[in-house]
Amino acid sequence: MRIFLSMTVNVGVVGASGYAGAELLRILHGHPEFTVTVATAASNAGQSVAALHPALIALGDVMLAESTPSALVDLDAVFIALPHGESARLTDALPETLKIIDLGADHRLQDASAWDHYYGAGSAAAAWVYGLPELPGRREVVASATKVANPGCYATAMQLSAAPLLASGLVEPVDIVAVAASGTSGAGRKASIPHSATEVMGSMTSYRVGGTHQHIAEVTQELSSVAGTPVSLSFTPLLAPMPRGILATTTMRLAAGVTAESVDDALRSFYSSSEFVHVLPHAASPATASVSGTNCAHIQAVVDERSGRVVVVTAIDNLGKGAAGQAVQNANLMFGFGEATGLSVLGVAP
């Protein structure tokens, strides 16, 4: 079943009935190299994409297939956007040579005990290459990989905030404190009372506080690698009354003698070659509306001299750089395409 005009690389999207899956279809529709030939779902198999996602009506009367290995084996690459804990069973049945980008958490963690702690007891899947290309040396590793674990949305924002300063030794690796607000699409499309419009509109609430949010595991795993020493993180997530976007504030203790100028220089140097991460002018503040619909991250840092801390504020689109956009960025690297191919860098605000 061919969805778009014939291009170069035939790909499939598993979990196309969800928000991240729909965002993948939207992005891939405009990609000059990837052709979506299979889109699958579980309970929504047999329904049309347009019926589930009216914004994608231009794709025509495309029907969702069942998420079976036989539907995917003849593809060049597969994007998997399934709930945590559900992709490993599918990926284990697919050919080793098939390139896969998993947007779920199944293949992110190297420590099986961390999986048990944050996701519940069970068999942790083998860790794949962790696909945050902006981390030191990671682009080259992703480019040579056949299996990539896409980072979590909160995890992306926190790591983009902290990695440059940890890598340069400008901040202490302990007592990192992050507070981040996310739009409701980050919770997925499954109906629930806490995420209904009546509960969310005109209100904000915290959830999974006290070190229980699952993204802590991958953030500490990857930032410890960047810092060369274990890092400690306290993270509080907030639910914001908006459909998409993440605004994260990450505070870190400055090392002795570190100045605001050195912090700014480190951020700008770290991201000087990035097509997606933009360190804003000093008078500007990151805003979720500015990155909506893009694969970009907007960052700004302010040094609080009285407390000896730096506050890094980062805005991303949780469905873009936090999910589908980053998955396509990783796929571009895996196939040798330009990193920004098919990805928007310009927001749609207001």
**C-alpha span between 26 and 335 (Å, rounded):** 20
Q: What are phi and psi of 258, to 5 degrees?
A: -75, 135
Q: Give CA torsion, residues 44, 48, 52, 55, to 10 deg.
A: 150
CA dist list (Å): 76 to 97, 146, 163: 9, 10, 32
> In sequence order, what DSSP letters do the residues of 222-247 get, joined into one string?
HHHHHHTS---EEEEEEE-SSSS-EE
DSSP string, 97-159: TSEEEE-SSTTT-S-HHHHHHHH-SS-PPPP-EE--TTSTTHHHHHHT-SEEEPPPHHHHHHH
- CA dihedral 319→322→328→332, nearest 10 degrees, is 160
Reduced to 3 states, what is the DSSP secondary structure of residue 12? Answer: strand
- Separation CA 215–CA 223 (nearest Å): 12
Q: Which residues pair with 48 in a beta bridge?
A: 63
Of 62, 98, 148, 153, the catalytic one is 153
The residues, ordered by sequence, that sit 6+ positions from 291 with a Cβ below 8 Å of its Cβ are 245, 297, 298, 315, 316, 317, 320, 321, 347
Tell me the C-alpha distance between 184 and 197, whole Å.
9
Active-site annotation holds for 296? no
Identify which of 213, 253, 206, 205 has the alpha carbon closest to the alpha carbon of residue 235: 213
Query: Among residues 65, 21, 12, 25, which one has the least CA distance to residue 43?
Result: 65
> Could you give the C-alpha distances from 344 to 248, 273, 275, 320, in angstroms and in order?
21, 17, 10, 9
Which residues are annotated as catalytic? 153
